[in-house]
Amino acid sequence: MFSLLNCVPRRLNRLPLRCKPSSLYAATQMSHSKATWGYSKEDGPATWAKLLDIKVGKKQSPIDIVRASAVFDESLKSLKFSYPGFENAKLENNGHTVQFSPTGENTSEASCGPVTNKYKLAQFHFHWGENNDVGSEHTVDGKPYSGELHLVHYNTDLYSSAAEALTQKDGLMVFGIFLK
């Protein structure tokens, strides 16, 4: 049995930033698209709005986390994760990354923190580069990490599937974890 508890840092519930469930909407929608996209000047974030019917805004990927302007919000409740494990799952190369998706029974969820609804794990995937100097989708003070893990959840209180939630502003919640 596979368990995500081995992948999630113990202090994940102490993230110093207030985030919205829609923060990674554009990148997640792009990852489900058949469009050709990437991170270069020709197919990077500045071109994503042209590739799909998505809006461009400050709450979309990629995000540069600027430590000097980050604010810890003490009023937020701690995030709660319940990842009991999976009996069945699909691991695939989707053309952009390696993606793990639970199949069958899936009771893995995240709740609390900045949200009031429950979000079920839909999939997780990785971002990496051609060397250890680049690879993460997001940056901290302009500097990338070697890689990044995205845990993609969908809102089960409002939507019956990840596909239904994908196009909704409050449909997804994605946790990005930097990898070294």
CA distance 39 to 42: 8
Is the separation of the CB atoms in 144 and 128 below 8 Å? no
Which candidate, 106, 112, 83, 89, places its Cα nearest to that of 14?
Answer: 112
Cα four-point dihedral sign 111, 112, 114, 117: positive
Q: Which residues are catalytic?
A: 96
Instruction: From residue 161, give the alpha-carbon distance in Å to each of 12, 13, 120, 155.
Output: 25, 25, 9, 8
The Cα 103–Cα 106 span in angstroms is: 7
d(CA 170, CA 118) in angstroms, rounded, equals 11
- Distance, in Å, from the CA atom of 121 to the CA atom of 41, rounded to the nearest integer, reads 32
